[in-house]
């Protein structure tokens, strides 16, 4: 590379142009791989065959799969009730339907793009039904066939020709059988069965040296092999293999990473046409091939790696090896059928690039955003605030003119003017024919110019950061185009007088015609929101560059849309898969695209110049039918059909649609609408979700039409539509019998009212009776209120009694004890100082705990409302409570043991659960001396049980009985217990828990706390 650079630098001193470097013109392919992660049922694709509707069918080890280009629909024993085996063995050649056989002999028949029949019998090709016995023959399913070589040593190998005729190959003999009888026999020495194939009803043999022998009525004929393969070096070295798609009637020849299709050319021979280059079949374990000749797309089935889809790329990207920066903007025509960039790089239309003398400067003479070529062949560009003129051979700078501000874009018009747009003021011009051009200012009110374009004579269209302007020459009078005041103009295209196309930044594309501005609809992804450039080809199509790819639109369609003669516009999208190095094209330059004299187009991108011949670009139109794959009613699968009956109270109705299309999915867009005859509203079309499903729920009764449509290409009303009928049954109150019943009731009501009016006395008695009943009801309500008040008073009295008992027993008694042990006079007992402190702490703790329980009890008794729930770690909560009881238990020589493992959780109010555990632990410690208090937990299916066992004095039987009965809640159910257990019982009702008490195994008490689990 350094040597080439130095040579070019040396030659630039003697030559006006640098040498042309050749470029790679090899056809490239975009390869997309599908596996089970993409929806493929299994990664072993054994056979590939298309159906009449355009779907592709794949035979795998886990079912028969239909592929529409984006989604896989699998038919296996999981969703086909009559099918017992999902292992597909072979696909038979059939012109009317697809016939597939499983490994256990089941026959699947595919018609109307779905599996319609499953059985044991097959019409035609019955001779290929393989039976494992010594006298049977082995039918191949195509090449490669790993088992054919093995069986060919011990039995004949059958190669099908028609429904009732075939070739039986055994050792060195080939027998032709027709309608069960031998027609003729062929002898071929050193026969390799894997090199035999049938094409257009004839049997051929490919020898290892590349020669082909065909037979006509048993007589051998040498058939020339012509075409692309003859120039393949691997073919000359005899490195070739046959791939035969028997079901699709296609034969391929594979050399070293190249694949060719073999087709008979009558009177000439067998022609080989390259369908794929530089793809390693062996490394990817390719076992089946199908070639879509119309779209030049190759489908490869791998025995382990799924499905490969190889699409030939159509666009060429021109790049150089000069620098790493291959970002291009403005370009202009250059002598020799080439284009030149402001940096001095030239690209030949036929391929190759060169460097002009100015390109060797270390500093760029011209910035890359604008380049204009005048009538004298000179090039004009900018460098900051300097207007620069360059010689036609791009060898020297001829002019430098300073402007008072930064230069924007420029345009050389047919009248010999060079228009220069700037920041402020915005528009200058020079006469390029003058020997010494002088800069002139046009008094037009335009600033921050972004694009300049000629209109009809005397009109100049100027785009700016603040809208579009029409400038009248030579006066400079300026018209502001309404509707684009806030638009940042990206480019302007004027195909004829009075028709102006404008692309903007973030606002899309507009047409200004007849003093009227019309916005074109954007694509669904809104990629066209920022359209850099509009270029028209010779076929009447616009090419629109964006940051997310390239669009093609028919100009007449856009005009019809603007005039209201067409409702929708079809945009064809080209993405990176078509050969671009990047989807991001460049704008903000002038010119924003270049068109050769022969119609070829060159577009600047972020990575190279994209050049192509518009007439040779194929567009794969989404013109296939629309199909309903599956239907769900209330999440239950329903057979797909054209009409559905739904109950009145259905919750959901969902269907999945598909249409075979193997191009870019952004060119296939579905819309749907729901119609009813009595709906006066205008029809609304909604886009179908990306997952191709349509969902409805809770429709009123009646007959509806679901209309599903897609645009199949350019032109007016180019729709493909499918209509489904939904009948929602009437509700019971909409039926005839319900109406008759209501009418009968009304008649009876009228008669009843008439009788009531006639019998006035009876009416008065009934009114009096109603008054008495009303008064009685009021008295009953008052009694209810009094009873509730009495119950409340009773509860308050009991609480007062309980408080008095608790204070008397649990506070007064410890206080007396504290007074006695803390007198200044010597104690009458033998209490030591340490024991006094321990007893004092124990008494104070119990008083504190009692007060705390009283507070919680009062809150539970008088406060209402919901308690928040938390995820509580039971082990951690028990540890916290044991830490509180540590001093007391230590003084009483009690061992606290927590057997609850960490991570045991329950969803409950943490504060309430903490109070419950605190009281239970307190009771256990209170009635235990020199023993053990331990906690365990066990998790059931819906409940978590916490066991607390102690070795203390034990709980009285009446207290246990009170605890074990759920109805014993509240303060009135237990006579002599402390406030703690009452509080526990009431808290358990709040947290939906239960408590059980049992005598301990080794004495003491065992308490079980049950808490519900939400999961």
Paired tokens of 283: 């490394």
428 within 8 A of 407, measured Cβ to Cβ? no
Which of helix, strand or coil describes residue 243?
strand
Paired tokens of 97: 């339907």
Residue-level pLDDT at 978 = 58
Cα separation, 619 vs 578, in Å, equals 11
Render pLDDT for 262-293 as a digit per residue (tens, 0 to 9). 999 988 999 999 999 999 999 999 999 999 99
Residue-level pLDDT at 885 = 82
DSSP character string of 56-91: EEEEETTEEEEE-SS-EEEESTTT-TT-----EEEE
712 within 8 A of 720, measured Cβ to Cβ? yes
CA-based nearest residue to 689, from 672, 709, 674:
672
Residue-level pLDDT at 830 = 47
Residue-level pLDDT at 577 = 93
Residue-level pLDDT at 54 = 92
Cα separation, 745 vs 748, in Å, equals 5
Q: What is the average pLDDT value for the chain, to the nearest integer?
A: 85
207 within 8 A of 214, measured Cβ to Cβ? no
Residue 111 pairs with which residues in a beta bridge?
114
CA 598 to chain centre: 42
CA distances from 343 to 327, 450, 609, 822 (A): 11, 21, 14, 104
Cα separation, 353 vs 339, in Å, equals 9
CB atoms closer than 10 angstroms to residue 390:
24
The CA dihedral of 466, 468, 470, 475, to the nearest 10 degrees, is 20
Residue-level pLDDT at 808 = 56
CA distances from 275 to 251, 291, 306, 626 (A): 12, 8, 20, 29
How are strands ordered across the β-sheet holding 72-75? 45-50, 56-60, 63-67, 72-75
For residue 726, what are the contacts with CB-CB under 8 A and spacing of at least 6?
A: 643, 644, 646, 653, 696, 699, 703, 704, 705, 706
763 within 8 A of 756, measured Cβ to Cβ? yes
CA-based nearest residue to 145, from 104, 108, 76, 196:
196
CB atoms closer than 10 angstroms to residue 357:
22
CA-based nearest residue to 232, from 253, 263, 262, 211:
253
Cα separation, 958 vs 43, in Å, equals 71
For Cα atoms 384, 390, 391, give the angle at the middle one, nearest 5 degrees: 180
Paired tokens of 121: 């019998």
CB atoms closer than 10 angstroms to residue 618:
12
DSSP character string of 293-315: TTTTEEEEEESSS-EEEEEE---
Residue-level pLDDT at 19 = 53
Cα separation, 872 vs 869, in Å, equals 9
Radius of gyration (Cα) for the chain, nearest Å?
46
Residues in the chain with pLDDT values less than 50: 1-18, 23, 824-831, 864-865, 971-976
């Amino acid at each position: 590379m350094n040597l080439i650079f130095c040579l070019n630098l040396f030659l630039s001193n003697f030559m006006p142009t640098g040498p042309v470097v050749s470029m790679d013109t090899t056809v490239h392919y975009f390869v997309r791989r599908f596996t089970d992660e993409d929806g493929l049922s299994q990664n072993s694709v054994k056979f590939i065959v298309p159906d009449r509707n355009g779907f592709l069918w794949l035979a795998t080890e886990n079912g028969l799969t239909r592929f529409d280009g984006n989604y896989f629909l699998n038919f296996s024993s999981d969703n086909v009730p009559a099918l017992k085996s999902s292992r597909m063995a072979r696909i038979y050649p059939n012109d009317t339907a697809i016939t597939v056989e499983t490994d256990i002999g089941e026959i699947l028949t595919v018609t109307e793009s779905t599996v319609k029949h499953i059985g044991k019998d097959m019409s035609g090709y019955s001779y290929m039904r393989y039976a494992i016995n010594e006298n049977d023959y082995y039918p191949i399913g195509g090449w490669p066939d790993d088992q054919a070589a093995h069986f060919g040593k011990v039995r004949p190998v059958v190669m099908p020709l028609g429904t009732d005729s075939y070739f039986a190959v055994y050792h060195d003999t080939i027998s032709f059988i027709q309608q069960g009888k031998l027609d003729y026999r062929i002898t071929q020495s050193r026969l390799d069965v894997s090199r035999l194939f049938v094409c257009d009803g004839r049997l051929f043999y490919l020898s290892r040296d590349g020669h082909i022998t065909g037979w006509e009525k048993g007589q051998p004929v040498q058939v020339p092999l012509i075409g692309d393969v003859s120039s393949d070096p691997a073919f000359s070295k005899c490195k070739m293999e046959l791939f035969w798609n028997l079901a699709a009637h296609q034969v391929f020849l594979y050399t070293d990473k190249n694949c060719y299709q073999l087709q008979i050319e009558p009177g000439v021979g067998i022609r080989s046409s390259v369908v794929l280059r530089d793809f390693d079949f062996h490394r990817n374990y390719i076992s089946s091939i199908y070639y879509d000749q119309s779209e030049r797309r190759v489908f490869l089935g791998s025995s382990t790696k799924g499905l490969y889809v190889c699409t030939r790329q159509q666009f060429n990207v021109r790049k150089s090896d000069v620098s790493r920066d291959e970002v291009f903007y403005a370009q202009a025509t250059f002598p020799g059928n080439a284009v030149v960039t402001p940096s001095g790089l030239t690209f030949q239309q036929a391929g190759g690039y060169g460097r002009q003398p100015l390109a060797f400067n270390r500093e760029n003479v011209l910035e890359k955003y604008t380049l204009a070529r005048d009538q004298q062949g000179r090039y004009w560009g900018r460098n900051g605030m300097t207007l620069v003129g360059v010689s036609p051979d791009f060898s020297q700078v001829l002019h430098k003119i300073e402007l008072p501000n930064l230069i924007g874009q420029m345009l050389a018009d047919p009248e010999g003017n060079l228009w220069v747009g700037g920041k402020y003021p915005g528009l200058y011009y020079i006469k390029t024919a003058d020997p010494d051009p002088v800069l002139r200012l046009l008094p037009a009110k335009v600033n921050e110019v972004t694009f300049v374009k000629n209109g009809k004579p005397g009109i100049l269209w100027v785009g700016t950061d603040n809208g579009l302007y029409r400038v009248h020459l030579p006066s400079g009078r300026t018209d502001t185009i309404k509707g684009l005041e806030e638009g940042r103009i990206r480019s302007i295209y004027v195909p004829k007088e009075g028709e102006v196309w404008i692309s903007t930044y973030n606002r899309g594309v507009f047409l200004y015609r007849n003093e009227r501005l019309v916005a074109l609809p954007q694509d669904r992804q809104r990629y066209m929101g920022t359209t850099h450039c509009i270029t028209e080809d010779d076929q009447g199509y616009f090419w629109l560059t964006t940051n997310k790819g390239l669009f093609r639109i028919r100009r007449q369609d856009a005009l019809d849309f603007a005039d209201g003669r067409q409702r929708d516009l079809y945009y064809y999208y080209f993405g990176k898969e078509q050969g671009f190095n990047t989807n991001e094209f460049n704008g903000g330059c002038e010119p924003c695209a270049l068109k050769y004299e022969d119609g070829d187009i060159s577009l600047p991108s972020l990575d190279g110049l994209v050049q192509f011949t518009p007439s040779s670009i194929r567009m794969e139109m989404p013109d296939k039918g629309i199909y309903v794959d599956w239907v769900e009613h209330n999440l239950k699968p329903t057979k797909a059909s054209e009409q559905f009956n739904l109950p009145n109270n259905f919750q959901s109705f969902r269907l999945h649609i598909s249409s075979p299309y193997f191009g870019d999915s952004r060119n296939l867009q579905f819309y749907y609408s729901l119609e009813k005859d009595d709906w006066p509203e205008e029809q609304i079309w909604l886009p179908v979700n990306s997952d191709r499903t349509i969902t409805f729920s809770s429709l009123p009764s009646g007959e509806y039409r679901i209309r599903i449509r897609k645009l199949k290409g350019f032109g007016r009303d180019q729709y493909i539509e499918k209509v489904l009928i939904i009948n929602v049954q009437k509700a019971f109150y909409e039926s005839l019998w319900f109406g008759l019943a209501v009418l009968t009731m009304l008649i009876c009501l009228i008669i009843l009212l008439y009788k009531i009016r006639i019998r006035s006395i009876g009416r008065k008695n009934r009114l009096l009776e109603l008054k008495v009943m009303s008064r009685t009801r009021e008295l009953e309500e008052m009694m209810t209120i009094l009873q509730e008040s009495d119950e409340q008073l009773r509860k308050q009295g009991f609480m007062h009694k309980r408080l008095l008992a608790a204070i008397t027993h649990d506070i007064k008694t410890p206080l007396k004890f504290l007074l006695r042990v803390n007198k200044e006079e010597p104690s009458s007992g033998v209490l030591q100082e340490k024991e006094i402190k321990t007893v004092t702490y124990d008494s104070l703790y119990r008083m504190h705990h009692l007060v705390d329980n009283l507070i919680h009890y009062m809150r539970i008794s008088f406060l209402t409302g919901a308690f928040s729930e938390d995820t509580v770690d039971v082990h951690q909560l028990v540890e916290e409570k044991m830490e509180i009881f540590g001093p007391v238990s230590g003084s009483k020589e009690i061992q606290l043991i927590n057997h609850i493992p960490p991570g045991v959780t329950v969803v409950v109010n943490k504060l309430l659960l903490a109070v419950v555990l605190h009281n239970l632990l307190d009771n256990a410690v209170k009635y235990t001396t020199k023993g053990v208090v331990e906690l365990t937990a066990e998790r059931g299916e819906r409940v978590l049980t916490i066991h607390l066992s102690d070795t203390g004095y034990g709980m009285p039987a009446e207290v246990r009985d009170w605890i074990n009965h759920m109805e014993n809640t509240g303060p009135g159910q237990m006579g002599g217990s402390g406030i703690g257990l009452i509080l526990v019982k009431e808290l358990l009702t709040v947290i939906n828990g239960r408590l059980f008490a049992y005598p301990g195994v080794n004495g003491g008490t065992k308490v079980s706390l049950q808490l519900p689990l939400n999961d």
